Every structure is written in structure tokens, then in C-alpha cells.
Amino acid sequence: MPKVAILYTGESRTLDTTIQHFKNNVLINSNYHVFALVQSDNIDYHNEIILNTIGDHLKSLQWFDKNDNTWLQIRESCLEKMEIPENWKNYLKNSGSMIEYYQMYLAYQALERYEIEHNIKYDFVLRMRTDVILKDSIDFDFIFEKNYITNMLYKIKDFLNETTILSENVLHLFMNSFYNENRYMYKNIDLTKLVIAPYLYTLLEISNEETFIDALIRYLTKGKYMVCLRSNIVYFLRRELMKDIHILGITYGQYLDKINDYWFNAESQLDNICTENNIDKFNSTTDLEGLSLYNYHPSNYFDENKLKQDDYSFFIKRY
């Protein structure tokens, strides 16, 4: 079974109401290990909740102090190097844009230490925010199996009314939904892609479907890609690629994009570091998922205390 490291980071705002969903929908197998980095104004309270809920899955728990001198020095050093207006520097300084990647960086360091101490190596890394509820679980134990992948491709082909699985539309929707068989059917799903390496498109030059499926499996198990929900809310990638991504926590602002005027925001910095490291990035968002970012309302996602089975894989729980 693949070993999965989960970087569980963020503020504790709604953690006491999201963490049970995290346990139920994310920690579905014993080979899923959690490396947590949490910011809290009531550490004793949240420490008990995390320990009691996550249990043996928890391999590291650190408490983040936003006034930590090391963090403040790194933040100021990054901002000083960025040629942007002062108002945007102030925004970055006071928002979660930079801090989320520094927290991810610290959680990743704990992951590395654990691997060395226990002589193991993880296969995949999944990043989760503490205020996010992931409705559609990701079972890494079977999503790379040939039968599952083959069935998904043909289901998507039929869903899109394509004549063959050897289609860019099928491949694109597959890469944005293969981790959960519900997702490709969701209404109003916005798909974006940042494909850097040419290998993915060479798959479409294959004329035999069986050969295509085998090549796609090689890409999924050994390729350089990241799969994201809404740019940077939830994402996963092969563990070895994370060594190129985690340094964003201490190098924020160094990844430029001449086309995008807002190259310095959190979403663009993740895009740009993927580009620099030739990592294909797949990203999708449904209307309900996007709505939770700025206009969250519980009735969109809950029926009493139960999650609605609707067109979303995740949402940010604001309160």
C-alpha cells in the first residue's frame, strides 16, 4: 500500500468542527500519516482535540507562533526582494498568502525527520488546510490500479460523448478527477491546466488504447504533476516532487510570471514554482467550492449535521 504523508496546516478557527470530517474522509487507511502545524490561541484545548481525534495517524504536531522571530525575518527578507507596491507588500504581510507556505515548509521538515528516524519513504504527499472539509475522499490504495483507471477513462469518454479515450478532453478531465470517481460528473466545474512537460501530450499520439492506458499509468505513478482543488486549497503530488515545492515557504516571491500582473499572490507563486520545476499542475473548482471562499453559508453544504451530496469535493468552513 502506498504510504501517504498529510501536511495538515493552518489556523485553528473551525478546527473543532472540521477535524472529525478530516478523520472520516481523509484518514481512511492506517498508512496515512499526519504532520500537523497549527496556529492556535488555545493550545491546550486544540491539542486535546487533535490528539484524541487523529490518534495513531498523527506523527508530528507543532504549534505555530505568528510572532516567531525566525518567521518574521524570513517574511521581511522575502518581501524586501519583491518589486511590488508597498500596499501589496502590506497585504502579503498581513494575509495568509505567505504564511501558509511557511507552515507547509515546517510540516514538511517534520516529515523528513520522521522518514530519517524511522527509515521509511512516503509515496505521496497531500496538503490539507485545517478549515477545509474534504467530502470526496482520496484512496491512494487503488486509484493507480489499471482496472480503476481504465473504467474511469471510459466513463469520462461516455460522459463527454467522445468516440475514444484518446482525446485531450478525456485526458484533461481525467487528470482533474481520477482521484475520486464522483468528481468528473459535477456541474459547473472550471478546469484549468498548467502543463509544462511535453510527455502528457505525447500520450495523445498513441493510437492503441491499451498502450495509451499503460503509458498513462506510468505518468500517474512516476510523472511530474500536482493535482489541486481550487489552485492551492488542497493538493497532492508524488513525495519526491515535494522537495522542490516545500522551499516556497522560505523563497516566496522569487517565482516570476511576466504575463500575470499578480504573480506574487499565493496561487500564482505555486503555479510558478511548478513551472520552474517542470511539474504539470492540474486544477479544478466547482461553483459551490468557489462560493465557500468568499460567501460561505452552512446550508450550501450541510443538511442538519450531515454533508450534502452535491457538486463539490471540498469547501472552506468559515464558521
For the chain, report the end-to-end CA distance as a whole number of angstroms. Answer: 36
Helix (H) or strand (E) holding 33: strand 32-39
How high is the pLDDT of residue 258? 76
Three-state DSSP at 77 gives helix
By three-state DSSP, how is residue 281 classified?
strand
In the chain, % helix, strand, coil (3-state, to 5) comes to: 45, 20, 35
Cell numbers for 118 = 524511522
State which amino acid sits at residue 135. Answer: K
- DSSP letter for each residue of 85-112: -HHHHHHHHHSSTTHHHHHHHHHHHHHH
CB 280 within 8 A of CB 171: no
Below-70 pLDDT ranges, the chain: none
Give me the residue label for grid cell 452552512.
Answer: 298
pLDDT of 305 reads 85
Tens of pLDDT, residues 107-150: 999 999 999 999 999 999 999 999 999 999 999 999 999 999 99
Closest residue by Cα to residue 193 from 312, 280, 261, 265: 280
Find out whether 279 and 196 touch, Cβ atoms under 8 Å: yes
User: Could you give the angle at the alpha carbon of 59 between the alpha carbons of 53 and 60, nearest 5°?
Assistant: 95
pLDDT of residue 197: 85
- Return the pLDDT at 273: 97
Contact 249, 102 (CB under 8 A): yes
| Domain-wise residue ranges, the chain | 4-316
